[in-house]
């Protein structure tokens, strides 16, 4: 971890700041190449805010540039920041990520603080025509620890799903196809849970992380689709952006982007087959 400046680090000119600035530049170039190579075959990008935050200000700058570029290319931009707070603080996060000047179309949020923590985010979605993806059942092994605890005859994540239904059930947030702008994060690694959550949320967009590197297969993802086989955004991170690692040779130059395109096409085909 020590190679990054983080938040509150030394000022421009220090060795670590300059290293982080250089890293942020390279990541920005990498992102630009990837977006150029896949923008025609993917619907959205989901930058992990943490990876930019750890580079301090140069990282935030790189994130902003990447989000703007993705948006210019017609992609939906989901800021994966997993924010969550109360009152005026939640309002400030909503302003940061969903406000009129933000390049994000949607934000991931954590539900642990309950409805009054969510309201400022919902208000921002109404005002700026943005969306949320609320963590319901995450893709990690320890997700079960709290999210699966039984409360009044159902797992906690089902209770959270009911809250998501309530938060999203607002005419100002529901679009032409009957889906709400308030979506749910449902890990690809848990198909049984995904089916249960889909039963609670028939007209909610699911953001499905965990495809690829985390072990989720296309058929697992399909467990989260609607009965008409849509309504889900399947996310792959490492299996796409680091696809060059699995290529027959470690590619130079922009070839890593070609490897990502090949992996993205395969992912698309697998998901289409699973949705048949």
Tokens 């983080």 correspond to 6
Catalytic residues: 82
User: Does residue 51 touch a copy of itself according to CB under 8 A?
Assistant: yes
The C-alpha atoms of residue 244 and residue 250 are separated, in whole angstroms, by: 6
| Selection from 264, 232, 258 nearest residue 244 by Cα | 258
Token code pair at residue 94: 């909503």
Which of 63, 173, 194, 263 is close enough to bind a copy of itself by CB under 8 A? 63
110 binds a copy of itself (CB under 8 A): yes
Nearest distance from C-beta of residue 276 to a copy of itself, angstroms: 31
Asked if 27 interacts with a copy of itself (CB under 8 A), we say no
Please count the residues of this chain forming the interface with a copy of itself, following the rule CB under 8 A.
77
Q: Contacts with a copy of itself in 229-268 (CB under 8 A)?
A: none
Restricting to residues 120-149, which ones interact with a copy of itself according to CB under 8 A? 124, 127, 135, 138-147, 149
- Strand (E) positions, 14-100? 44-45, 76-83
* Site for a copy of itself contains 117 (CB under 8 A): yes
Phi, psi of 178 (to 5 degrees): 85, 5
CB contact at 8 A, 224 and 183? no
Identity of the residue, 213 or 265, whose beta carbon is nearer to a copy of itself in the bound complex: 213
Query: Residue 164, class by beta-carbon neighbours within 10 Å (0-12 exposed, 13-18 middle, 19+ buried)?
Result: buried
Residues 120 and 178: their CA atoms lie apart, in Å, by 23
- In the complex, minimum distance from the CB of residue 249 to a copy of itself, in angstroms, rounded to a whole number: 25
Of 159 and 203, the one with the shorter C-beta distance to a copy of itself is 159
Stretch that binds a copy of itself, among 83-91, 222-230, 256-264, 268-276 (CB under 8 A): 83-91
């Amino acid at each position: 971890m020590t190679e990054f400046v983080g938040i509150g680090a030394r000022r421009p000119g220090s060795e670590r700041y300059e290293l982080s600035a250089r890293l942020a530049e390279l990541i920005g170039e990498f992102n630009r190449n990837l977006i150029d190579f896949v923008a025609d075959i993917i619907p959205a990008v989901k930058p992990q805010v943490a990876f930019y935050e750890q580079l301090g200000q140069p990282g935030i700058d790189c994130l902003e540039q990447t989000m703007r570029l993705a948006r210019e290319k017609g992609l939906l931009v989901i800021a994966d920041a997993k924010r969550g707070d109360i009152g005026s603080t939640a309002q400030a996060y909503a302003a940061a990520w969903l406000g009129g000047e933000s390049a994000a179309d949607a934000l991931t949020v954590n539900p642990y603080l309950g409805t009054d923590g969510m309201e400022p985010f919902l208000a921002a979605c109404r005002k700026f025509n943005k969306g949320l993806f609320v963590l319901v059942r995450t893709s990690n092994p320890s997700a079960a620890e709290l999210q699966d605890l039984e409360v009044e005859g159902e797992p906690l994540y089902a209770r959270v799903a009911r809250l998501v239904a309530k938060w999203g059930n607002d005419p100002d947030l529901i679009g032409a196809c009957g889906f709400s702008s308030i979506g749910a994060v449902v890990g690809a690694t848990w198909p049984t849970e995904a089916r249960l959550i889909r039963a609670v949320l028939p007209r909610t967009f699911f953001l499905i992380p965990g495809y690829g590197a985390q072990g989720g297969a296309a058929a697992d993802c399909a467990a989260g689709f609607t009965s008409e086989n849509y309504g889900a955004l399947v996310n792959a991170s490492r299996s796409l952006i680091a696809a060059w690692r699995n290529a027959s040779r470690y590619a130079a130059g922009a070839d890593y982007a070609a490897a990502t395109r090949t992996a993205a096409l395969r992912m698309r085909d697998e998901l289409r087959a699973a949705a048949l």
